[in-house]
């Protein structure tokens, strides 16, 4: 038996390693978060599968019966009470069941559905009754991805999405679908690819919420007959090829440069129009033009130590020659 046990354990280890290698090869190993989510889901499913047969309460009842039988055996020196206690303990081990608050137990009697049990403590008849499945009715999260899916404008993209769903009718989820977990995941992946093919790349990048609502509507219509409701779908990421990213970056940069030049040209046009309007005003009022010129000259020379060279024609036009002479004469008198 020892070599056989070693071989069995080795076979299981090899099978697990092969499964993980296949998962990584198909893309699941590239996302550590997804791998951890899958492991947690498997652990929960394994625990629920074990509680279909035995649980903590049934183990406790079995050991209590066994202790009572041993005590009676010691006191009476008769093995009959021990055998009876063991029989009762085995019965209770497989008869006492417990379902958590968020779980419903689908019970079959001789293969026929008889009802839902739980939450809490309940009793079944061993061999006659069987828990087909413990259904978790909390909100579940399934992450799906579509790799190299073509958009409406034939652009290959990789899209990651998260589906939030819950089982509202455990009877339908178990009796109508062989494996509702795989059914939801595969249906979500197919619907995601179909939705990608109906939208342009720009719409997928800028209108993720609308895309998620369309996916939710499609999936909810498909899964509702199974007793499952898809509450929402969120588009987590849209990845495009690196070459296309560079092209889109250059296109965006060219668009920004075009907008900048348009804005600059518009500003130049507005300035020219203002100059034309000002020229018309100065044409009819030459005195205003002289005052403006004098103000500009004053603004230029009011700083200490500044020097401005003004053409003689401008000085004669503005009548600044006499003003400059009077200023110089005033300075000589003060000295």
What pLDDT, on a 0 to 100 scale, did the predictor assign at position 4? 35
> Regarding the domain delimited by 140-240, which CATH topology (the fold level of the hierarchy) does it fall under?
Tetrahydropterin Synthase; Chain A (3.30.479)
pLDDT in tens, 293-335: 777 766 766 665 566 666 666 556 655 555 444 444 444 445 5
What pLDDT, on a 0 to 100 scale, did the predictor assign at position 205? 81
User: Could you give the residue ranges of the DSSP H alpha helices within 77-169?
Assistant: 79-95
Least confident span in 28-37, 116-125, 263-272: 28-37
Nearest 5°: the CA angle 159, 140, 199 is 25
Mean pLDDT, the chain, rounded, equals 78
Query: How does DSSP classify residue 29?
Result: G
Would you say residue 40 has pLDDT above 50?
yes
Q: Which residues, listed in sequence order, are joined to residue 133 by a DSSP beta bridge? A: 106
Q: Which of 114, 146, 140 has the alpha carbon at shortest distance from 129?
A: 114
Could you tell me the pTM of the whole model? 0.62
If phi > 0 it is left, if psi is from -120 to 50 it is alpha, else beta; for residue 127 that is left
Taking residues 46-74, what's their average pLDDT?
88
Taking residues 145-150, what's their average pLDDT?
82
Which residue in this structure is represented by tokens 């977990």? Answer: 181
Taking residues 86-94, what's their average pLDDT?
92
Are 199 and 152 contacting, i.e. CB atoms less than 8 angstroms apart? yes
User: Under DSSP, is residue 207 helix (H, G, I), strand (E, B) or coil?
Assistant: coil
- In degrees rounded to 5, what are phi and psi of residue 164? -105, 120
What pLDDT, on a 0 to 100 scale, did the predictor assign at position 122? 92
Q: How far apart are CA 146 and CA 71, in angstroms?
A: 64
For residue 174, what are its two tokens? 């178990």
Least confident span in 34-38, 58-62, 119-123, 281-285: 34-38
Taking residues 197-208, what's their average pLDDT?
83
Would you say residue 206 has pLDDT above 50?
yes
Would you say residue 162 has pLDDT above 70?
yes
* pLDDT band per the 50, 70, 90 thresholds, residue 292: confident
What pLDDT, on a 0 to 100 scale, did the predictor assign at position 321? 52
Query: How does DSSP classify residue 232?
Result: E
Are 96 and 61 contacting, i.e. CB atoms less than 8 angstroms apart? yes
Most confident of 39-53, 114-128, 203-217: 114-128
Cα–Cα separations (whole angstroms), residue 23 to 1, 28, 35: 33, 5, 9
Q: Which of 309, 326, 310 has the alpha carbon at shortest distance from 318?
A: 310
Taking residues 35-49, what's their average pLDDT?
70
Q: Which residues, listed in sequence order, are joined to residue 122 by a DSSP beta bridge? A: 97
Residue 191: other Cβ atoms inside 10 A: 24
Cα–Cα separations (whole angstroms), residue 79 to 62, 86, 87, 300: 17, 11, 12, 122
pLDDT in tens, 237-274: 888 877 766 766 777 777 788 888 888 888 888 888 88
**For residue 216, what are the contacts with CB-CB under 8 A and spacing of at least 6?**
230, 231, 232, 233
So where are the chain's domains? 31-100+114-132, 140-240
**Percent of residues, the chain, with pLDDT higher than 90:** 24
What pLDDT, on a 0 to 100 scale, did the predictor assign at position 255? 79
Cis peptide before 14 (omega within 30 of 0): no
| Residue 116 CB burial class (10 angstroms; 0-12, 13-18, ≥19) | middle
What pLDDT, on a 0 to 100 scale, did the predictor assign at position 280? 74
What pLDDT, on a 0 to 100 scale, did the predictor assign at position 20? 45
Would you say residue 87 has pLDDT above 80?
yes
Taking residues 128-151, what's their average pLDDT?
88
Higher-confidence residue of 145 and 13: namely 145
Q: Which of 16, 116, 7, 103 has the alpha carbon at shortest distance from 55?
A: 103
For residue 139, what are its two tokens? 């909100």
* pLDDT band per the 50, 70, 90 thresholds, residue 6: very low
What pLDDT, on a 0 to 100 scale, did the predictor assign at position 264? 86
Taking residues 148-175, what's their average pLDDT?
88
């Amino acid at each position: 038996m020892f070599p056989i046990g070693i071989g069995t354990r080795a076979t299981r280890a090899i099978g697990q390693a092969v499964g993980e290698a296949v998962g990584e090869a198909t893309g699941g190993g590239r996302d550590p978060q997804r791998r951890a989510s899958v492991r947690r889901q498997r652990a929960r499913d394994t625990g629920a599968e074990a509680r279909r047969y035995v649980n903590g309460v049934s183990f406790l009842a079995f050991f209590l019966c066994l202790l009572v039988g041993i005590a009676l055996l010691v006191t009476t020196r008769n093995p009959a009470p021990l055998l009876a206690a063991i029989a009762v303990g085995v019965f209770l081990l497989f008869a006492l069941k417990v379902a958590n608050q968020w779980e419903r137990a689908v019970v079959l009697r001789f293969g026929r559905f008889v009802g839902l049990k739980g939450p809490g403590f309940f009793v079944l008849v061993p061999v006659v009754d069987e828990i087909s499945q413990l259904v978790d009715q909390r909100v579940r999260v399934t992450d799906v991805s579509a790799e190299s899916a073509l958009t409406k404008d034939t652009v290959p993209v990789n899209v990651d999405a998260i589906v939030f769903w819950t089982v509202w009718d455990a009877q339908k989820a178990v009796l109508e679908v062989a494996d509702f977990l795989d059914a939801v995941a595969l249906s979500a992946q197919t619907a995601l690819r179909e939705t990608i093919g109906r939208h342009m790349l720009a719409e997928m990048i800028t209108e993720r919420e609308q895309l998620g609502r369309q996916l939710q509507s499609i999936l909810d219509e498909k899964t509702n007959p199974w007793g499952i409701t898809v509450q929402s779908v969120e588009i987590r990421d849209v990845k495009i090829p690196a070459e296309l990213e560079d092209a889109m970056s250059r296109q965006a940069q060219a668009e920004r440069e075009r907008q900048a030049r348009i804005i600059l040209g518009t500003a130049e046009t507005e300035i020219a129009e203002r100059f034309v309007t000002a020229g018309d005003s100065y044409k009819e009022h030459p005195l205003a033009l002289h005052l403006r010129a004098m103000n500009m000259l004053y603004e230029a020379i009011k700083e200490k130590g500044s020097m401005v060279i003004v053409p003689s024609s401008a000085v004669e036009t503005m009548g600044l020659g006499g003003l400059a002479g009077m200023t110089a004469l005033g300075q000589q008198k003060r000295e």
